[in-house]
Amino acid sequence: MWEYAASSFRLFAGLSPSMDVLAARLRLNIERSWEDLGAVDAAVFRIQKIDFALSRLEGSPCPDVFVWVSRAHGQRAIIILSRVRSTRATDYLAEVVRAMAPWRRDPRVIELSRLAHNAIALSTSSAAS
């Protein structure tokens, strides 16, 4: 199932808490599936009409749980991520902005960068308070 569903998502972030902890906190059911590299645990959920997924590849050297967002809602996901008040979320947004620098003249990248910069500023100002 995950191999089929993954084509509708793009990788968005990595989280260090375990899949079990995240699923319990979000009240999600974890499903076991398979992909080319082996067994994968996955959970799909929706926030404000945006589809997200969590996945964790069994035996992966990277312990992070991957966060995926629907390909159709990438920019709206930045807005949701901006509401997360954490250093890791802010660092991730800054990394996204740096990675998009070669395409900074594209109107879509300009808008995404503006959203990310606003989110970083919000997060930084609320952390200072």
Q: Is residue 123 part of a domain?
A: yes
Question: What are φ and ψ of residue 59, in 5° steps?
Answer: 80, 5
Residue 128 has pLDDT above 60, yes or no: no
Q: Same structural domain for residues 15 and 47?
A: yes
Calpha distance 89→31 (Å, rounded): 26
Predicted structure pTM score? 0.59
Number of domains comprising the chain? 2
Residues 100, 59 share a domain:
no
User: Given this model, what pLDDT does residue 124 score?
Assistant: 59
What does the alpha-carbon distance between residue 97 and residue 114 come to, in Å, rounded to a whole number? Answer: 9
Say if residue 60 is in the same domain as residue 8. yes
Chain centre to alpha carbon of residue 12: 3
57 shares a domain with 12: yes
* Structural domain contains residue 78: no
What is the structure's pLDDT at 78? Answer: 67
Contact between residue 123 and residue 78 where contact means Cβ atoms under 8 Å apart: no
Kindly tell me the sign of the dihedral angle through the C-alpha atoms of 103, 106, 110, 113: negative
pLDDT, tens digit, for every residue of 37-78?
Answer: 678 899 988 877 888 889 988 877 676 788 888 877 766 766
